[in-house]
Structure 1
Amino acid sequence: MIKKIVEKLHLDPPKTLVLGFSLIIFLGALLLTLPVATVDGLGLHWLDALFTATSATCVTGLVVVDTGTTFTTFGQLVILSLIQIGGLGFMTFATFFALIMRKKISLRERLILQESLNQMSMEGIVRLAKMILVFTALTELIGGVLLSIRFAFDFPLPKAIYFGFFHAISNFNNAGFDLMGEFSSLTAYVDDPVVTLVVCLLIILGGIGFMVVSELYDYRQTRRLSLHTKVVLSTTGILVVAGTALIFILEYANPKTLQPLSMMGKVLGSLYQSVTARTAGSNTLNIGDMYQSSLFLIILLMFIGASPGSTGGGIKTTTFATLIGAVVAQMKGKEDVIFFRQRILPHMVYKSLTLTMISLFIVLVMTMVLSITETSARFEMILFEVTSAFATTGLSMGLTPHLTPIGKILIVLTMFAGRVGPLTIAFALAQRKQKEYFRYPKGKITIG
């Protein structure tokens, strides 16, 4: 259906993505308003349905109603389908069905797929789509089996299997939806090594980007990694380790979070919150009980987010690394940003700065507007909520269920902008630059 509409309207890739995500969201919202979708048999209110469908399709995880107790199995499967489609991109699924039906992938479809996967060229784009589907299926299968075995000790076997695969799919796609009830997420498993390590690994694999996964898979033959992969892996490792250490230090004496736990529990709790802050959304500690210093750290981690071409959001690890590299280069008096003995081109630094400033502008504006509409909420709760929505993280200090109707609409727009906006911005920045036939004379201004 989307393909026919695109062909009639002659839409370019960015507009196709916006239209595609919009149609999927509205279809999902319509399904969630059906009586069969909710336990009470009344269906979800249209605004709550729109919010939930947007959160699922944009793989965010913010919820205005509890997923485990509000929705029937039908409603939960609708949410899970939206998570899977939103995480991998609807064009990846369109490519999958086209390959099954042995249809040729057109040039326009390859361009849209390139935009959807945030790739720099079309070379090998169909092969990458195939790899994504296979890798996703295997990873979610293994994660689902491991979690099902662990949940079998707490639930009847059918429920354990259902819970295991639901949470595996949700966390691999960095969505953070859960079925544990009462907005509790995975707090009951804060010191459980199996749940913590399996889910953390799922989040990381879904967040490093499929291009990185492809290169790691081919490493046995190629024996080389691109600069992109090296930057993603090193930045991800630093952020995870630094985040874990800082949360451990900041929350160590907090009687509502880490203090009652054993040393292993403290480490596992710190690790999980560090990993999930990078756009996953599930949590094993009560976010609202954390100290303000820890919450500010999580806001920073959420804003940075995952890596390009992944299921996560945020400004991305490569953008953050490029900006840090530019700062270090300026402090050392050097003109070039150097990573692994390779020079980053100046226009990439400008792109990183542009994307970061636009993202920061959206977060600040939405925070200011919500400060007007949500008069009963504290400022840090609003800033946390907006950052979580824009970075498609899904963590919350408890504000989401209490949002006003206007607040819900604003968060819906923020989630949509966070999922689709940066991709469209990146595509626009990648367009061919117009040739300049003249240059203005140099001017000097005082900086700092």
Structure 2
Amino acid sequence: MFKRLKKKGFTFSLNPPQVLSLGFILIILAGAFLLSLPVASADGTGQHFLDALFMATSATCVTGLTVVNTGQFYSFFGEIVLLLLVQIGGLGFMTMATLIALVFRRKITFRERLILQEAMNHNSTEGIVRLIRKVLFYSLIIELTGAVLLTLRWWFELPFKTALYFGIFHSISIFNNAGFDLFSSLKDRPGSLVHYVDDPFVNIITILLIVLGGIGFIVISDLLTYRINKKLTLHSKVVLSVSGILIAVGCLIIFIFEFTNTHTLQPLSPTGKILGSLFQSVSSRSAGLNTLDIGSLRQATQFFLIIMMFIGAAPGSSGGGIKVTTFAILIGAMLAMVRGKEDIVMFQRRIASDRIYKAITFTMISFLIIVVFTMLLSTTEEFSFLGILFEVTSAYATAGMSLGLTPQLTSFGKILIVLLMFIGRLGPVTLAFSLTITPDKEHYRYPEGKITIG
């Protein structure tokens, strides 16, 4: 996997972050080329390369932001290209490469294991290939189950072939938290899942797919082996507990803010109000689908969704954001400081200091990226500040929700959003490591100093 190039006596090598970055770039460029072909568009005229690049990036980075109407603009070929990019981007191209290697019974080298460790955000290379096998198996089973259930539901209102195709497409898109949908291709149908806002079956299946795709494969594996081990790792406990709290709190806040909004919850039945609030709470942290018109939400709700998108999903998943574990550590640090404690303790386990530093670093870098890109887009795009902040956060967190800015973006704005989606999918720390040379280890430490805080 690592290629060494010798030129003029110098040896160049790619570290794992560089391999991941380069791999995603190559996949995006290949996808953009395919989407720009005339055969990829429904009318056969092709797509401007910048728009094709935007869509390929959005699919590979499992974001869901679109500059064209997916269900109406693309042909069957174009939709399949998008779906393949979503699948590769959701599982990770290294996971797909490992699948090919396993099929041909090729040995996975130690360097390749290092790249897989980086791609899966795993703590070590131990058992990484076994984890990849589980990822592929779990993904296949979950997507297949979702496709069957959604097909059976949509068969009541659509021809079987259309229902089957919609079931497969949306199951893969939803599980990988991509947010692409084809419902706008149907006559007199709104986009996304707005038509099914009060349909319990579609809501429950979609929510389960989003949650399973957002908690990460490490947690799924942990849950499936719980009957044998009778215990969960600290990582799984934190992800499940924090995710559950965020979903419940998010549902309650959206319900309260939108209960009297005549454009969202107010006209719905009591069941529809609960389902609408719950779905937006679950989807906002990464999935990008919606059953309520996001543009019709009150500004307080839209700002709350920005916070939810910023937090994001779990590490090792296809979701973005700073991740729920990072958010949990930040809250733990705040509570420990308020209580006068030196250690952050979760489930009777002390959090290592390097995890705390990493959480703070990742959060600050993410915050600064969003601030800088929001300022840049505010100078190039004619749109409300909240709408620009919403779009920037959605792109960086690969959430895919939109207030309508994306289709109106200037060429420069599209390039900025493409960069944001790419940075958000890889993670700013991984991208930074791929662009810097590994520094020499320091052999000394400076004297300790103190500064006043607060």
TM range (shorter): over 0.9
* Number of the residue aligned with 1:21: 24
Question: Cα gap change, 1:303/1:122 in structure 2, threshold over 3 Å: closer, same or farther?
Answer: same
Matched, 1:142 2:149: no
The code of the aligned residue for 1:191 comes to D
Counterpart mapping for 1:314-393 below 5 A: 314-374=321-381, 376-393=382-399
The code of the aligned residue for 2:372 comes to V
Q: What displacement does 1:202 show?
A: 0.3
- Please, which of 248, 268, 274 is the counterpart of residue 261 of structure 1? 268
Once residues 37 and 410 of structure 1 are traced to their aligned partners in structure 2, the CA distance between those partners, rounded to angstroms, is 24
Once residues 243 and 440 of structure 2 are traced to their aligned partners in structure 1, the CA distance between those partners, rounded to angstroms, is 32
* Number of the residue aligned with 1:63: 66
- Please, which of 143, 150, 166 is the counterpart of residue 169 of structure 2? 166
* Number of the residue aligned with 1:396: 402
The SS at the match of 2:263 is coil
Counterpart mapping for 1:10-409 below 5 A: 10-181=13-184, 184-374=191-381, 376-409=382-415
- Please, which of 400, 415, 434 is the counterpart of residue 421 of structure 2? 415
The superposition leaves residues 375-396 of structure 1 with CA deviations (integer Å, 9 ceiling, x where unpaired) of: x200000000000000000000
The code of the aligned residue for 1:344 comes to I
The superposition leaves residues 213-258 of structure 1 with CA deviations (integer Å, 9 ceiling, x where unpaired) of: 1111111111111111100000000000110111011100000000
Once residues 44 and 339 of structure 1 are traced to their aligned partners in structure 2, the CA distance between those partners, rounded to angstroms, is 51
Once residues 411 and 425 of structure 1 are traced to their aligned partners in structure 2, the CA distance between those partners, rounded to angstroms, is 16
The code of the aligned residue for 2:161 comes to P
Q: RMSD across aligned C-alpha pairs, in angstroms?
A: 1.6
Once residues 423 and 260 of structure 1 are traced to their aligned partners in structure 2, the CA distance between those partners, rounded to angstroms, is 45
Q: What displacement does 1:7 show?
A: 5.0
> Is the 1:115–1:427 contact (alpha carbons within 8 Å) kept by the matching residues of 2?
no
* Number of the residue aligned with 2:9: none
> Is the 1:116–1:423 contact (alpha carbons within 8 Å) kept by the matching residues of 2?
no
Once residues 111 and 105 of structure 1 are traced to their aligned partners in structure 2, the CA distance between those partners, rounded to angstroms, is 10
The code of the aligned residue for 2:413 comes to G
Once residues 7 and 148 of structure 1 are traced to their aligned partners in structure 2, the CA distance between those partners, rounded to angstroms, is 48
Once residues 256 and 113 of structure 1 are traced to their aligned partners in structure 2, the CA distance between those partners, rounded to angstroms, is 46
Q: What displacement does 1:121 show?
A: 0.1
Q: What displacement does 1:347 show?
A: 1.7
The code of the aligned residue for 1:75 comes to G
The SS at the match of 2:350 is strand
Task: List structure 1 runs of 4+ shifted beyond 3 angstroms.
Answer: 6-9, 425-429, 431-436
Once residues 11 and 170 of structure 1 are traced to their aligned partners in structure 2, the CA distance between those partners, rounded to angstroms, is 31
Show structure 2 runs of 5+ residues with no match.
6-11
> Is the 1:272–1:283 contact (alpha carbons within 8 Å) kept by the matching residues of 2?
yes
The superposition leaves residues 327-354 of structure 1 with CA deviations (integer Å, 9 ceiling, x where unpaired) of: 0000000010010111011221111000
Once residues 338 and 212 of structure 1 are traced to their aligned partners in structure 2, the CA distance between those partners, rounded to angstroms, is 20
Report the more deviating stretch, 234-243 or 210-219: 210-219
The superposition leaves residues 2-54 of structure 1 with CA deviations (integer Å, 9 ceiling, x where unpaired) of: x48x4555211000000000000000000001111001101111011000000
> Is the 1:35–1:43 contact (alpha carbons within 8 Å) kept by the matching residues of 2?
yes
> Is the 2:362–2:429 contact (alpha carbons within 8 Å) kept by the matching residues of 1?
no
Once residues 390 and 83 of structure 1 are traced to their aligned partners in structure 2, the CA distance between those partners, rounded to angstroms, is 17
Question: Cα gap change, 1:432/1:270 in structure 2, threshold over 3 Å: closer, same or farther?
Answer: farther
Once residues 27 and 81 of structure 1 are traced to their aligned partners in structure 2, the CA distance between those partners, rounded to angstroms, is 12
Q: What displacement does 1:275 show?
A: 0.5
The code of the aligned residue for 2:174 comes to N
Q: What displacement does 1:423 show?
A: 5.8
> Is the 1:59–1:83 contact (alpha carbons within 8 Å) kept by the matching residues of 2?
yes
The code of the aligned residue for 2:339 comes to K
Once residues 78 and 319 of structure 1 are traced to their aligned partners in structure 2, the CA distance between those partners, rounded to angstroms, is 34
Q: What displacement does 1:442 show?
A: 2.4
> Is the 1:118–1:423 contact (alpha carbons within 8 Å) kept by the matching residues of 2?
no
> Is the 1:37–1:74 contact (alpha carbons within 8 Å) kept by the matching residues of 2?
yes
Once residues 181 and 441 of structure 1 are traced to their aligned partners in structure 2, the CA distance between those partners, rounded to angstroms, is 61
| Number of equivalences | 442
Q: What displacement does 1:181 show?
A: 1.0
Report the more deviating stretch, 15-24 or 338-347: 338-347
Q: What displacement does 1:425 show?
A: 5.9
Once residues 268 and 432 of structure 1 are traced to their aligned partners in structure 2, the CA distance between those partners, rounded to angstroms, is 51
Show structure 1 runs of 5+ residues with no match.
none
Once residues 440 and 301 of structure 2 are traced to their aligned partners in structure 1, the CA distance between those partners, rounded to angstroms, is 42
The code of the aligned residue for 2:379 comes to I
Once residues 402 and 308 of structure 1 are traced to their aligned partners in structure 2, the CA distance between those partners, rounded to angstroms, is 32
Once residues 116 and 4 of structure 2 are traced to their aligned partners in structure 1, the CA distance between those partners, rounded to angstroms, is 15
The code of the aligned residue for 1:415 comes to M
The superposition leaves residues 59-98 of structure 1 with CA deviations (integer Å, 9 ceiling, x where unpaired) of: 0000000110000110000000000000000000111010
